[in-house]
Amino acid sequence: MLRTEDLNYLLEVLHEIYGNFKHLFLDEIQNIDNWELFVNRCRRQGYNILLTGSNSKLLSKELATHLTGRYIEMELYPFSFREYLKYHRLTYTEEDQYLPSKIGEIKNQLSEYIKTGGFPEPLKYPQMRQRYLRDLYNVIITKDIITRYNIRHSKTLKDLATYLTSNYSCEISYNKVKNILNAKSVHTIENYASYIEEAYLVFQLYPHSYKTKLQLMSPKKIYAIDTGLIDALTAKHFDNICRLLENIVALELFRKRAQNQSELYSYKSKQQQEVDFVIKKGINVVQLIQVCYSLKDEKTKKKRVKRTHKSRQRPEMQKPAYHHMGLRRRRRNKHKQDNLYPAMEMAHGKEINTIIQATLHQSPSQTPHASSITLNAHSLSGAYSSPYIASCRSIQPQHTQKKPATISSISLNDI
């Protein structure tokens, strides 16, 4: 085990072996006391440093304390389905979606991916999968949360972690959770939930609203870090295939969030019309995503599309308009030109992190609006059937006659 005083000697030896260099890769350096002093000194000398760690000593709050203003944080998630296929050295082309044998293979691999999850160790040693995931879960709860925050009511925290993990892809009300767990206060439950989220066991998704008060007061949706972890901890989880697919899509959107510089929310109207994911850039809602297990039933397809379309037209989904002077909100019914007319598009997963998006066919005189949908592609990702994602992307209206655009074909595009 290296000691603090050994780090300078290590740097000297590295230069003796490799000559002049300006890049350092330091893995699990948090196990050395006062490591941040060495890193800061190297940073001032012009070194580019990459730090990696896997326990609570190198979580975001500790990094902010040790390296204030001197680091860029990168989150590493479990394997996506694409990475899972690469790990097993499986490659598929776009033409494979027309071959029944290839479609069957991909569906089989997706079924296994949902069951095993994306942590590398269980993929390497499948016979130890459930034991490894349970041990990993217990270590995170004990060391990264209870010990780190000096939690006195450890049983309440463990029960909360189990409750959140088993209620993946569901709305959570902290008041109800407080009553279920017989906790002393909602404040305690909120704190414990934030600790569990900081340990990367679950993610909370806030509801979309331009009013911060409503975001904080409304129930949040919960997603687990890995479907394999859900399988190891939750009984009969595989019966909830719709929720599992939503959790997988949520993880993919979390991966893309920082890259796309976008914000991710959920949404439910007062009429209980729900949209799974709302993607926002700045003050603009750019896309709504609805995750479905299957749209083979025509009634189900119309219901989901109608729900997404109605949600997109609601005032809280429109960007807020303000006067240049006074910053008072305009009345939207008197300023219809500020509204965004939605263009509907249907999509379904090719490999979960690949979306088959619909192409809008319209003449220059037409303004995008909701219209009919024709799907002519096969799903490559369903474990039992074809999971689809219905999405709605806002498009600024043109000052022309409003005629509906028809979605008539599908093109393959990677996210």
pTM of full prediction above 0.75: no
Please say whether the beta carbons of 411 and 347 come within 8 A: no
Residues 6+ apart with CB under 8 A from 355: 347, 348, 349, 389, 413, 414, 415
pLDDT digits (tens, 9 = 90+) for 360-388: 233 333 333 322 222 222 333 333 333 33
Determine the pLDDT at residue 310. Answer: 66
Is residue 165 within 8 A of residue 233, CB to CB? The reply is: yes
Strands (E), 305-352: 341-349
Give per-residue pLDDT as tens, 248-267: 999 999 998 877 788 999 98
Nearest Cα residue to 413 out of 365, 357, 360: 357
Percentage, residues of the chain above pLDDT 70: 68
What is d(CA 389, CA 357) in angstroms, rounded to the nearest whole number?
9
Token pair for 266: 């959920």
pLDDT at 197: 93
Token pair 């044998």 in the structure block, residue: 101
- Identify the pLDDT of residue 65: 67
CB 308 within 8 A of CB 369: no
Percent of the chain topping pLDDT 90: 37
Residue 71 in tokens: 């680091």
Confidence of residue 415 (pLDDT cuts 50, 70, 90): very low
Amino acid in the structure at residue 113 = Y
Which residue type occupies 144?
Answer: D
More reliable by pLDDT, 296 or 8: 8
pLDDT at 409 over 60: no
H or E segment to which residue 43 belongs: helix 35-44
Task: Provide the token pair at 91.
Answer: 């490659």
**3-state per-residue secondary structure call for 173-236:** CHHHHHHHHCCCCHHHHHHHHHHHHHCCCEEEECECCCCHHHHHHCCEEEEECCHHHHHHHCCC
Query: Would you say 203 and 165 are in contact if contact means Cβ atoms under 8 Å apart?
Result: no
SS3 at position 390: strand
> Mean of the pLDDT values across residues 66-93?
86
Q: Kindly compute the dihedral angle of the four CA atoms of residues 96, 99, 102, 104, in this order, to the nearest 10 degrees.
A: 140
Please say whether the beta carbons of 223 and 230 come within 8 A: no
Q: Which alpha helices (DSSP H) does 77-210 contain, by range?
A: 81-87, 100-116, 120-124, 129-139, 148-149, 154-166, 174-181, 186-198
Spatial distance between the Cα atoms of 212 and 312, rounded to a whole number of angstroms: 19
Q: pLDDT, tens digit, for every residue of 180-198?
A: 999 989 999 999 999 999 8
Specify the DSSP element, H or E, that contains 301.
helix 298-313
